[in-house]
Amino acid sequence: FISKAQSMQLQRIQKDEIISAQEQLVKNDLKANLNASWSETLEEASQRRSLKRKNAEIHQEIRLANKALTQVRKAQLKKLLEDEYKEYEQELHSMGLTFHK
């Protein structure tokens, strides 16, 4: 009777050890899944920040390009007006007239 009880107790201990090992595997899997999820979330956040930075850089480049274009257009308009003024001044001079300054 004692040996049968001991045998049953050993079987119970072995089953408990198997269950404990399986529980530990499940815990390890859950921990690995949490780590992977955290890592993916971190990567997504990093990509969003990177995209935001790139968009800001593009907007800054466009703003600076527009500013440069405006300066070039102003310079061209100024040159055009100066050239037209000289042309009109020459025409008036050839007629014996001048601009009143």
3-state secondary structure 11-75: HHHHHHHHHHHHHHHHHHHHHHHHHHHHHHHHHHHHHHHHHHHHHHHHHHHHHHHHHHHHHHHHH
Q: Report the chain's C-alpha Rg in angstroms.
A: 43
**pTM metric for this prediction:** 0.53
99, 89 contact by CB (below 8 A): yes
pLDDT of residue 5: 83
Q: What is the pLDDT along the chain (101 residues), one digit of tens a residue?
A: 678 888 889 999 999 999 999 999 999 999 999 999 999 999 999 999 999 999 999 999 999 999 999 999 999 999 999 999 999 999 999 998 887 76
